[in-house]
């Protein structure tokens, strides 16, 4: 198990920052995570001692920098059990990775009438790129619906997948916490010859990830949600797919040669990394992966399962009918993301009142407006936990909620 006191000491903002003389109770990690000391230090030290261009210059300093950057690829490959580090492409965030898939793979392989299947609990990042493609070339989008407890309704999966070319789905909902059966969905997609695209933004930071066990085709995720820096995201893909895809952005580094007449592309991963990449960020990400590996992702998951159980029980016991928590109750099929409605209060006001005791949660549609429609709400309040949260944080959330009605007197 994790020792949260020890873990939290590694996060300067959580250990030292105060607002109104009190510590910050950070419950917004589904949005973005805090950064441990060693990630900050790795970036600092790299900029102080080793910063140089990568892949372009041949002096020793540039060699050191190139090795450090490529080290990030290896670390990420290890974390998700990718067969080869060359299959890891660095993007600016997960959204770029998903756009890359929709644009580079989609433009090549999809035409009018082709079917892409999504789920009703996708993040906008896994919806809008496909809708842009739909605008451009008239593909059809079908949606996997939800059961009452916020799981995917797979009863008509065969029907939805019939004739589909792509199944793109989240491995964990950023609103409901739901963990869909990733392996099953990948194999269902393959059974009809469809591509299996996984949005693993919320999954990789919190679980043991094995892209080979999933047998996924393309997997997108973000550094900033897994203790790493902003400015870097990842697309992992099967080499033969990446190889066959045209480039996405054009420019330096992604070319084999350029003449006045045209260009040819470099091998993967360079083919998808136009321009100067996030060099310092890859170094910070390496430190983040090493941090996660030392804690052990199985331990992280175990800790969060226990905390999720505690949170669901605490909130339901203390607030009964005054609170509606969306998503499954079974912690085996959900992660530590709690979206809820509280009395008649608007989520913005709930979040504002919680902020008064430094409890940081998100209020809004969480970039999942179609899901809000399915839930029949305009927005929710969302608390989300990570490896540095403990029961005291959940208690602080509950205490904050306790005071909320006093103010509004509704």
Partner 1 sequence: MSGLEDLYREIILDHYRTPRNRGELDTPPATKVDGHNPLCGDEISVYLMVEDAENGDDAIVTDIKIGGQGCSISQSSASMMTNAVIGKRVGDVRAVSRKFKSLMGIENVDLQAGDDEVDLEDLEALQGVVKFPVRIKCAVLGWNTLSSALDEALDPAE
Ligand X SMILES: Cc1ncc(COP(=O)(O)O)c(C=O)c1O
Nearer to ligand X, 73 or 366 (CB): 366
For residues 206 to 225, the per-residue mask of contacts with ligand X, x marking binding by CB under 6 A and - elsewhere, is ----------------x---
Q: Would you count residue 229 as binding its own copies (CB under 8 A)?
A: yes
Of 64-72, 110-118, 153-161, 287-295, the segment contacting partner 1 by CB under 8 A is: 64-72
Q: Shortest distance, CB of residue 20 to ligand X, whole angstroms?
A: 28
Q: Determine if 348 is a binding residue for partner 1 (CB under 8 A).
A: yes
Shortest separation between residue 62's beta carbon and its own copies, angstroms: 7
CA dist., res. 43 & res. 130, Å (int): 35
Q: Distance between CA 221 and CA 89 in Å, rounded?
A: 11
In a 3-state reduction of DSSP, which class is residue 333? helix
Residue 335: strand, helix, or coil:
coil
Cβ(349)–Cβ(366) below 8 Å: no
How many whole angstroms separate alpha carbon 376 and alpha carbon 390?
Answer: 31
Residue 60 binding partner 1, by CB under 8 A: yes
The footprint of its own copies on residues 41-70 (CB under 8 A) is 43-44, 47-53, 56-62
The tokens describing 167, both together, are 């199944």
Distance (Å, whole) CA 63 – CA 327 = 49
199 binds, among ligand X, partner 1, its own copies, none (CB under 5 to 8 A by kind): ligand X
Among 221, 222, 216, CA closest to 238: 216
| 379 near partner 1, rule: CB under 8 A | yes
Interaction residues for ligand X, span 110-129 (CB under 6 A): 123, 125-126
CA atoms within 13 A on the CB side of 146: 24
Asked if residue 230 binds partner 1 (CB under 8 A), the reply is no
Read out DSSP for 119-171?
A: ETT--GGGTHHHHHHHHHH--EEEEE-B-TTSSB--TTHHHHHTTEEEEEEES
Closest CB 255 distance from partner 1, rounded Å: 6
Query: Does 174 interact with ligand X (rule: CB under 6 A)?
Result: yes
Burial of 246 (0-12, 13-18, 19+ CB in 10 A): exposed
What DSSP string describes 364-393?
Answer: E-TT-HHHHHHHT-S-EEEEE--TT--HHH
Q: Which is nearer to ligand X, 150 or 233 (by Cβ)?
A: 233
What is the nearest approach in angstroms of ligand X to the Cβ of residue 230? 8
16 binding partner (options partner 1, ligand X, its own copies, none; Cβ < 5 to 8 Å by kind): its own copies
Q: Is 367 one of the annotated active-site residues of the chain?
A: yes
Between vectors from CA 241 to CA 237 and to CA 247, what angle results, nearest 5°?
A: 90
Q: How many residues does the chain have?
A: 410
Helix (H, G, I), strand (E, B) or coil at 262: coil
| Alpha helices in 268-403, H assignment, sequence order | 279-295, 297-319, 347-355, 369-375, 391-402
Please report whether residue 278 would count as binding its own copies according to CB under 8 A: yes
* Between 66 and 207, CB nearer to partner 1: 66
**16 vs 313, beta carbon nearer its own copies:** 16
Cα separation, 178 vs 174, whole angstroms: 8
Considering the complex, what minimum distance in angstroms separates the CB of residue 38 from ligand X?
21
Question: Judged by CB under 8 A, does residue 66 bind partner 1?
Answer: yes
- The interface region with its own copies, picked from 152-160, 184-192, 274-282, 334-342 by CB under 8 A, is 274-282
Look at residue 109 and give the partner it binds from its own copies, ligand X, partner 1, none, a contact being a CB closer than 5 to 8 Å depending on partner kind: none
- Choice between 147 and 276, CB closer to ligand X: 276
Residue placing its CB nearer to partner 1 in the complex, 83 or 113: 83
How distant, in Å, are the alpha carbons of 30, 114, 332 from that of 336? 9, 36, 11
Q: Which is nearer to partner 1, 249 or 372 (CB)?
A: 372
Residues annotated catalytic, as ranges: 367
User: Which residues bind to partner 1, rule: CB under 8 A?
Assistant: 20, 55-58, 60, 62-63, 66-67, 70, 84-86, 255-257, 266, 270, 346-349, 352-353, 356, 363-365, 369, 372, 378-379, 407-410
User: Which residues bind to ligand X, rule: CB under 6 A?
Assistant: 93-95, 123, 125-126, 170, 174, 199, 201-202, 222, 233, 252, 275-276, 367
């Amino acid at each position: 198990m994790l020792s949260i006191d020890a873990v939290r000491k590694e996060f300067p903002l959580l250990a030292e920052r105060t607002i109104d003389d009190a510590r910050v109770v950070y419950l917004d990690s589904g949005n973005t995570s805090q950064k441990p000391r060693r990630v900050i230090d790795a970036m600092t030290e790299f900029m102080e001692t080793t910063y140089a261009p990568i892949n372009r210059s041949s002096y020793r300093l540039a060699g050191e920098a190139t090795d450090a950057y490529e080290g990030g690829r290896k670390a990420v490959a290890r974390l998700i059990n990718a067969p080869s580090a060359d299959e890891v492409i660095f993007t600016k965030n997960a959204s770029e990775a998903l756009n890359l898939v929709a644009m580079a793979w989609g433009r090549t392989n999809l035409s009018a009438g082709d079917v892409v299947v999504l789920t009703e609990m996708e993040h906008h990042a896994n919806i809008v790129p496909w809708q842009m493609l739909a605008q451009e070339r008239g593909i059809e989008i079908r949606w996997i619906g939800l059961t009452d407890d916020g799981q995917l309704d797979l009863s008509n999966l065969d029907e939805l997948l019939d004739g589909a070319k792509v199944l793109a789905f989240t491995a964990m909902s950023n609103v409901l916490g739901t963990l869909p059966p990733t392996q099953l969905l990948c194999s269902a997609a393959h059974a009809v010859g469809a591509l299996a695209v996984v949005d693993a933004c919320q999954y990789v930071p919190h679980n043991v990830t094995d892209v080979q066990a999933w047998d996924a085709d393309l997997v997108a995720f973000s550094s900033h949600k897994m203790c790493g820096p902003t400015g870097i995201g990842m697309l992992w893909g099967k080499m033969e797919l990446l190889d066959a895809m045209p480039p996405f952005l054009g420019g330096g580094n992604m070319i084999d040669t350029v003449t006045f007449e045209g260009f040819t592309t470099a091998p993967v991963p360079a083919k998808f990394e136009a321009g100067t990449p996030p060099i310092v960020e890859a170094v910070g990400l390496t430190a983040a992966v090493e941090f996660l590996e030392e804690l052990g992702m199985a331990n992280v998951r175990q800790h969060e399962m226990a905390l999720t159980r505690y949170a669901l029980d605490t909130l339901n016991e203390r607030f009964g009918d005054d609170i509606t928590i969306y998503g499954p109750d079974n912690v085996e099929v959900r992660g530590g993301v709690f979206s809820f409605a509280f009395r008649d209060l608007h989520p913005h006001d709930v979040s504002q009142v919680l902020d008064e005791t430094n409890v940081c949660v998100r209020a809004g549609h969480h970039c999942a407006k179609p899901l809000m429609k399915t839930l029949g709400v305009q927005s929710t309040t969302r608390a989300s936990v990570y490896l540095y949260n403990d029961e005291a944080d959940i208690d602080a959330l509950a205490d904050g909620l306790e005071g909320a009605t006093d103010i509004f007197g509704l």
